[in-house]
Structures are given as structure tokens and as C-alpha cells.
Structure 1
Amino acid sequence: MTNIRFRAALGRVASYAPTPVASTGEPPRPLSANETPHGPLPGVLEAIAAAGAAVNRYPDARCRELTGAIARFHGVDAGRVLVGGGSVALLQALFQAFGEVGDEVVYAWRSFELYAELAELAGLRSVQVPLADGVHDLAAMADRVTPSTRMVVVCNPNNPTGTVVTREEIRAFLARVPSDCLVVLDEAYIEYTRAAGAGSGVDLLQEYGNLVVLRTFSKAYGLAGLRVGYLLAAADVVTQLDKPCLPYAVNTLAQRAAEVALGLQEELALRVEATVAERTRVREALLALGLPVPEAQGNFVWIGLGGDAVEFGRWCMARGVAVRAFAGEGVRVTMGTVRDNDVFLEAVAGWAGVPGRAAGRHSGEAMAGVDV
């Protein structure tokens, strides 16, 4: 134990902990991290291999080719695009750049678990507004905005509940938020959204200069292992936000892979539709068992199990399926392959917590010491 004095904030946050897995036997089916079960899109691996010839050189610090491709894809000026090492890295820069120590950031809860940690580390005060039946309560969030609020974050679709708010609800919300307060739409799962009236906030960027839209290549595009994301915002926001971003944060392979993947929209659409179909199938099966599952719009479903969440997570892990359990709240289950999902549903069918099934505990059958 050293005598080093760390920042007090470090004592109030925990390191991010992925769902633990068993150390023996076959690896569990990975339904805990919202990854796509599909491999890289056609041509991406070849592009990565070709780009590998230049890894003795630093990557393009400005990600110019990828930035230009994103700008063309969205029909915006390249000065309104900022690429980063995953959307989480850009979120970290946002929390650092827009607010002084003690200022407020408003977001829903439960939502993406890293919002709280990023706020704490940046010295911002979190204002967490409860979800309403698993959905962002935008009216309540607008009510909580004060002169000390520097940023509001809306995760849409929401992680982990999978619910969405519509474009018109977002527009009405933006109309209530002061123009000097940043509104960040975290759209990591927007490609999977099929709800009527829902959609991206990109179309609202011209109308609202305080709007930022975050995207990632980690989910639908299948590049989670390369860590690349981007945001769209007003040019002056991008200019300021570039300052806390680490230089050369997006490696050469990631830049090239993302550029190629962005140009494969037809192939991407087929894979997304396959995931949406599985999401529908799994949700309907869970509803048929009497489990509480809100309408899902990401590549995952949410089961509101309350105090049974951790036990259910252990039950699934013991049957070879890794899911993400949030103690006292619920369980998030990523859509995997058809077989992955079938194995998960088989595990659910055998769980005593299913409504109407005889009560009983399975902790003796679960893996001892697994903390999900």
C-alpha cells in the first residue's frame, strides 16, 4: 500500500466491470455486452490487412478520410464531424469540456452506467431523473434544468431498457432547454430502431445549435474491437471538443475499417433486420412466459426482474449464457445468433422465477462466487 494521495473522486467510482465468466468449461454464450453476433462486413478484413502495412506510422490525427465519408453520409459539412476512440471516449471529452467543477449534468436513470462515473471524474454533479415506465421522462428532465446545468444526456434508444422517445418529443424537449445548455443524444443503437415516430436527431442539428448527436461503429457495424465512434454538432462545438480529445486516439486500422463499413449500407441493413427479427422473437417468447419486457428498440431486451436480477443472471451463467444483470433492477440480454437465443430461452424456461412456476431457489446450482 502506497502513501500516494489520489483524487477523492476515485474513491467514489468503480472501475468498469464486464460480466464475469466462469474460468472452466466452454466459454458462455456472449449475450451481455450488446455486441453483434455477425462478423465484419464484406471487405472490412481486407481493408484492415491493407492498412496494417502503415502501422509503423502514426494514424491521421484528424481522421480526414473517415470524417469526410461521415460528412457525406449525413449530408453535413466536415467541420461538424468529430471522430473519436469509440463514442465513450467522446462522451468523456464532452463531460470534461462543457462545465466547470460543481456544474450539473442531467440524465435519466437507469441509463448508460458510465454517465455517472464520467460526471464524477469530471467534477460535475449528476442530476438523475427516474425513467417513467422504462422511458425517458423528458418533461421531468426539462424541469430539472437550472442555470447550473451545462449538459443533458438522452440515450435513445435507452441502454439498458431499450425504449425510445420520438423525434417530435425530442424537438419539444429541445425547445424547453436553454440554448447555452448542451443536449447530447446518445444514439449508439439507432440503427435497430423501428418504433413509429422514432428516429435520429441528426435532422434537428441545423435547428438547434446546442445539439450533439453521438454514433458508434461498435454495435450494428460490428467494429467493437477497434473502438471508433463519432459525433455531429455545430462547428464551434466540434472545435472546442477537439481540445480534450487525445491525439492519434483512433488507430489507422479502425479509421479504414469504419470508412469501408460505412459504405456497406445494404449489407448492414440485412444484418440489422436479422437482429430485429430475433429481438421480436425473443421478446414475444418472454412475454408469453409472463415476464415484464418493454418494447425493445436496441439489439437487446430488458427484463425488469427487480430483486431477482442477480439470481437470474447466475442461473443463466450456470447454463452457459452470459447476460448483464443490474442488481435490484433487471437484466439486459443481447441478441446473439439464433442458437444463442434459443439456449437463453431454454434457461429462462427452467427458471423458477417465471410467473406461475413453483417457487424455488437455484443458488445451489449457480456458480458460486459469480458476481453478475
Structure 2
Amino acid sequence: MTEPVLPRLRPEIEQLPPYRQGRQADPSGFKLSSNENAFEPLPGVLEALHGASAINRYPDATAGRLCAALAERYGVEREQVLAGAGSVSLLAAFIQAAAGAGDEVVHAWRSFEAYPGLVLVAGAKGVQVPNLPDGRHDLDAMAAAVTDRTRVVLLCTPNNPTGSIITSDEFERFVERVPKDVLILLDEAYAEFVTDDAAVGGLAERVFEQHPNVVVLRTFSKAYGLAALRIGYAIGHTRVLDAARATIIPLSVTAQAETAALASLEHESELLERVAEIAARRERLVAGLRDAGWSVPDAQGNFAWLDTVDPAVAAAFDEAGLMVRVFPDGIRISVGEAESIDRVIDVARHLRG
């Protein structure tokens, strides 16, 4: 049979592997592969969703109610807030707004696995800077990697998947070394879980005011437990956000996602309780892994990182019903249900014999 003539595609896109989602667990196991929140949505969220049932109508393309609420919450102008279908869609919009063919985007590696693909789709070249041995961004090397072709720098704190933070002092020194016309995206998807007072807090410290080339990104997927609804937001200079408004996919934030996010914002005390519980489980997980003989970087997200490429390790977790995330250079274990912590530690201890 003659092969059909297919449309010409970008060769680099044909070679780009699709995003690989964390595996599901069977009913007796635990899914610890996607950094999801094991808690159900906050009080009032499901009830609010029942009232957002007009799915025959398009949503507000600006997610205006949510952006207004976030603007009030953080003391900024409404135009300084942009909502998107998860922070990853916002990352894509900002990269496409700033970088194209011949441009470069600098980011740490290993870091969020979507970064290389987002850069490639934009037509730009990714410049990957290896992490320090303890899993932290090598900010000196990243600053040195910035050239006159650099248009965007991606900073992930806590870094996914290693869990390490960027401190306020490190961030300030880094920003001062980067040209002011280079866009810096401060990806704080896991910021709510941070307990280290030295960590940079992009919104609390209002870094976007001191440095107009910095945009702070957050999500409702992790701490707020709205992963399935896909909603995140960015705060920064209006002109920079306007450029992303031109590249972002229109109407990508559904009315249901906006409603759930608004309802979640009304339950701050419950959120803080859940975040504290997850952080406590994280500390117990990290302590248990270290006690079992594993080297684990300081973790400030809702996950821990094992620096191992031994396939027997991944197989042992799998056999125990623990669906962890296996990368070419390590294993990320999400903080899940309380019952999962002891099972993870038991497997880790057994592996060390």
C-alpha cells in the first residue's frame, strides 16, 4: 500500500516527545507520581461548582472576577494579574511573547520537565544549566550563561523535582546580574508548601515592583487541590502581561475553574491547615528516607527527590503499589496520603538492606 502524503511538520517537533503524565495507581496503591494534593477540594468549592453549570456559554475570557480578587489580595492593579489554564500555559504564553527563532531561554536542569518543550515550541533555543550537587539552581552559572541572545530566564523555586529553594539573597544577587531587558519568570508553583524563611517569596516581597522584568507565577493545582480544573495566575508589570495576553490561548480558563478558585480563596485558614499537614508529612518522609540511608536534598515542595538511576529502586516501589515518578536521573516521590509515608519508607529501608 502506498504511504499517504502527509503535511510537512517541523522536524524538531516530530522529535519532541509528548508530555508524560504520572502513572495511575490501582485501588490498593498510592499515586505519588504527579505532585497532586491528596486532600479533597476546600470547603465550599464543590457547592460553588454546582452553580457554575452554564456550560453552553463561553467563560469570561479575562477571568475578571478572579483577577480582581487576586489584585485585591496582593495589592496590585487588576491589569497586573493574568489567569491561565495552569501555570504551564502561562509559561508558554510568556516564552512565546519574548522568545523566537534565534533567541535563547536559560533554565536550570533538572527542573520542570515541560521547560525544554515549551522553549522548543516557541522556536527558541534552550540553554540548560546543570544544578548544583545538592539539587539547587547554580545561579552563578545561570547568570554567566546569559548572552545578548537571551530573552527569558526560568527560575523554579522550590525546584521541581529536586525540591530545593532559591533564597531571597540569592535571587537579588542573580537579578542584579541579568540585563533588565531579559524576562525572568519566577515559577512558584509550590510556594505555599515552603517553610524555610530564607526562601524568596515573589509575591510577599513584591519582586515584580523592584524588578519590572520579573513575573511571578502561581497555580491552584497544588496547595489548593484544583489540578483537574487547570488554573493558575501570573503577577507582574502590565506591559509584560499584555504581551502574554496576546499569545495565550483565548478562553482557556473555564467558568468552573474560575468559580472554584474564587471559592478556594475564601478558605485561607483551612488551606493553611492542609499545607501544614502536607509539610509535616514531607518532613517525616525526608527524615525516614535519610534514616534509611538515602541522600535526599532539602525538600520544600510536596515531594522528595532520590538521586538514583537504579531500575531496581523504581521496580520495588512499583511492586509495593507506590506509583512514583521515574526520571532518567532520579526518582521523585510526591507527598500523598498519610498511610503512604510509612510504606515508602519501608520500601526505601528494604532497598538499603
Aligned pairs for 1:46-61 (under 5 A) are 46-52=47-53, 54-61=54-61
Give the distance between the partners of 2:144 and 2:4, measured in 1 at CA: 45
Give the distance between the partners of 1:334 and 1:235, measured in 2 at CA: 35
Query: What residue number does 2:294 align with?
Result: 291
| AA aligned opposite 1:3 | V
Q: Secondary structure at the residue paired with 1:333?
A: strand
Give the distance between the partners of 1:269 and 1:58, measured in 2 at CA: 33
1:265 and 2:268 matched: yes
Aligned pairs for 1:207-356 (under 5 A) are 207-305=210-308, 307-308=309-310, 310-327=311-328, 329-351=329-351, 354=352
Q: Secondary structure at the residue paired with 2:210?
A: coil
Give the distance between the partners of 1:340 and 1:49, measured in 2 at CA: 32
1:117 and 2:120 matched: no
Q: Secondary structure at the residue paired with 1:161?
A: coil
Give the distance between the partners of 2:188 and 2:296, measured in 1 at CA: 21
Q: Secondary structure at the residue paired with 1:282?
A: helix
Q: Secondary structure at the residue paired with 2:89?
A: helix
Query: What residue number does 1:3 align with?
Result: 5
1:17 and 2:20 matched: yes
Give the distance between the partners of 2:276 and 2:298, measured in 1 at CA: 16
Give the distance between the partners of 1:199 and 1:101, measured in 2 at CA: 32
Cα distance change, pair 27–6 in 1 and its aligned pair in 2 (3 A): farther
Give the distance between the partners of 2:164 and 2:313, measured in 1 at CA: 22
TM-score normalized by structure 2?
A: 0.95
Q: Secondary structure at the residue paired with 1:51?
A: coil
Q: Give the Å deviation of 1:349.
A: 2.6
Q: Give the Å deviation of 1:280.
A: 0.5
Give the distance between the partners of 1:240 and 1:122, measured in 2 at CA: 14
1:65 and 2:68 matched: no
Give the distance between the partners of 1:196 and 1:244, measured in 2 at CA: 35
Check conservation: 2:84, 2:232, Cα contact below 8 A: yes
Q: Secondary structure at the residue paired with 2:129?
A: strand
TM-score normalized by structure 1?
A: 0.91
- Matched residue pairs, number? 347
Query: What residue number does 1:104 align with?
Result: 104
Aligned pairs for 1:25-104 (under 5 A) are 26=27, 28-52=29-53, 54-104=54-104
Q: Give the Å deviation of 1:314.
A: 2.0
Percent identity of equivalent pairs: 42
Cα distance change, pair 27–114 in 1 and its aligned pair in 2 (3 A): farther
Unmatched tracts of structure 2, length 5 or more: none
Q: Give the Å deviation of 1:346.
A: 2.3
| AA aligned opposite 2:157 | N
